[in-house]
Amino acid sequence: MNSQKSTDITPKELKRYDNRPGFDLVNRKKVGLPVYKVTLQAIIQIRKPIPPIEEYVLKAMDAGLNSEYIGDFLGLEQEIIKDAMINLRRSEDIDLIAPEGSSMQVWQLTQKGKITLKEAQTIVPEERTFNIDFDGLRRKACWYGQWLLKPGDLRQDEIIEIDPSPNKPPELSDIKLKDVDEIISELEQKRRRKQEQQEQQDLLALKAIERRSRFFQPALALIYKAKESDEVQVAFAIDGILSPEHEQVFAGTHSLKKLRILESLKESEPGKLAGKVFGPELITQDRLKEAEELQHKFDYAQVELDTSQEQLEEAENDRKKAELQQKISDPQQAVWNLKVYDHQPMLQNAIDNSQERLMIISPWIRANVVDKKFLQAFEKMLKRRVEVFIGYGLGNEDKNMSEADSKAEKELEKLARKYKNFWLKRLGNTHAKILICDTKFMITTSFNWLSFKGDPDRTFRDERGTLVSIPKNIDELFASYRKKFD
């Protein structure tokens, strides 16, 4: 099953989630939330419209007519009346009862039969099996339908598995009758509307669990880190809608520690990575602090632009934003922080607008990035005679490559053979994630430029980045990596 349907998200859509006071959105990952498909044995009572003949038999008996004369009265054969009475006896709507003061038993309506006649329905107890879903985090019966992933789907699509809490399948005692009744009622209403059935049923009891299988609900985990501390919060968006229940339960589990989320964020802190790649003399604390302050001002101006209603206000805000953008390009303001959702637009901008050279250093090549649209734009750039360098790979081979990923790699190899201005090389130790565009900018980050997927061993990295726009430093970094292609 393809999980792209419910968890794919554009940078613009991702940006709207970066609105948590006191926190920055630093990563997002596709996850599978635990769900059990459960087959239940249950006891129900079915309310069926009674057949017209049986209804008339009940009415005739209720009027005091002897069973021997009902056929004549209704103008029906005695055999038809007999079959109707057998059915009514089986459903306990009639019985042989001796009237008060008489020892002779005659057919009469039971108390149940009187209710059946009044409601024109017959009530039949029955044992049935029902399929429901059970949310492994919320510990609640629910119905997600058919759009669930199998464990193999998670491995194939490199989706992170979230454990249930507690980590065990549901028992009958965990499943509430009320929740199951609501699920069955909703599904039965849809089925009746579709099939025009008038049968109704009431859930009386849950008898046993016949079968339970573990599946996963596709979701997007949104990782937030506090601006002033090491606090981490994880939210979950299902079909684009945040689920506070899942976030609350997850926060109370040990999953944050088990998934090494805080440790991974600290290891990949953007300022620390930028210092390693660009050098401590360039990435000073003062510069990082200034870049952060400028980012806040820029974000504030953007919010004002988005919310202004008056033309004059919009014009004023537009002027402020232009001033800030001018300051960003100023040599004195050479360092700029990138949000997690800035990377994809920056990569596309570099491919579309590079004039002289482009360098991409990224551990993996994946088909979800290097697709037909990407390759078309990429070849267009090569035709502009831009010199392009792509360095990738961890080790001699990528064991996690799918057939589609391998095809994407081969398409790039084909372009490298076709164009002399394209250098494609498996470097074998490419932990760096770098993008260099002409002498305009260079970016270092934990974001995987050509895969948009994470290292399985360091799942939740801080995927914000650092951009530097000093030509001298850009030339130096480019030259140091250019040697690796010889």
Of the candidates 471, 408, 418, 402, the one whose C-alpha atom is nearest the C-alpha of residue 442 is 471
d(CA 78, CA 70): 8
The string of pLDDT tens digits covering residues 60-72 is 888 888 877 888 8
Lookup: tokens for 350: 């570099």
Long-range contact pairs involving 239-242 (C-beta distance under 8 Å, separation at least 24): 239/6, 240/9, 240/13, 242/17
pLDDT one digit per residue (tens) for the chain, 486 residues:
444 445 578 888 898 999 999 999 999 989 999 999 999 999 887 776 778 888 888 888 888 888 778 888 877 888 888 898 998 999 888 898 888 777 788 888 899 888 888 777 666 678 889 999 999 999 999 998 778 999 999 888 878 999 999 999 999 999 999 999 999 888 877 776 555 555 667 788 899 999 999 999 999 999 999 988 999 999 999 999 999 999 999 998 888 788 888 888 887 777 777 777 777 666 655 555 555 655 554 454 444 444 444 444 455 556 555 554 554 444 445 778 888 888 999 999 999 999 999 999 998 899 989 999 999 999 999 999 999 999 998 766 766 778 899 999 999 999 999 999 999 999 877 778 999 999 999 999 988 899 865 454 446 888 888 888 889 999 999 999 999 998
Structural domains in the chain plus CATH codes? 4-42+127-266 (no CATH), 51-114 (1.10.10.10), 268-485 (3.30.870.10)
The string of pLDDT tens digits covering residues 100-128 is 777 788 888 899 888 888 777 666 678 88
Lookup: tokens for 201: 């049923």
Neighbours of 19 (CB within 10 A): 9
Q: What is the pTM of this model?
A: 0.73
Tally the residues of the chain: 486
The single residue listed with the structure tokens 């004002």 is: 304
d(CA 372, CA 207): 54
d(CA 284, CA 293): 14
